[in-house]
Amino acid sequence: MLKEGDAAPDFQTRDENGNEVKLSDFRGQKVALYFYPKDDTPGCTKEACSFRDNNSTLAENGIKVLGVSLDDEASHQAFISKYNLPFTLLSDTDHSVSEAYGVYGEQTWGDKKFMGVARKTFLIDEQGKIKKVFDKVNVEAHADEVLAAFG
């Protein structure tokens, strides 16, 4: 279980355009690495739109937003296009990134159980250390939570 002060696990995966992305590419920057269950679903859309609506303030504060789900690149492209999302979405189709961060496992929705990603955010500082972990996310105000935590 990752906690504040731990080194953030590096990873390599693809963004919505098929480009290779590594967490280490962002060393020297603040990163909000947010895991979400699925593109274009109600809670995930509210969370993404919270980041979208606060993108300029996040950028002014030097915070790079990276969203991660199990969706593929085509799904991410459609989600970005539909909601005009100005940040990078990462495809974790083999759930290796989600497993490294401890967010992949059995989930429950209503009375259904399935393997998937838990909604969780890791704030990573310029040195690659985890500054804050959000286990409970307010999807409509998450960008504000991130800004407050990064100070």
Q: Which residues are catalytic?
A: 44
- Alpha-helix runs per DSSP H in the chain: 42-53, 55-60, 73-83, 96-100, 142-150
Tokens of 91: 């495809």
Task: With CA atoms as reference, report the closest residue to 120 among 62, 61, 43, 55.
Answer: 43
Cβ atoms of 65 and 34 within 8 Å: the answer is yes
Question: What value, to the nearest 5°, has the Cα angle with vertex 94 and ends 40 and 111?
Answer: 55
3-state helix, strand, coil in the chain (%, to 5): 30, 30, 35
Cβ atoms of 35 and 29 within 8 Å: the answer is no
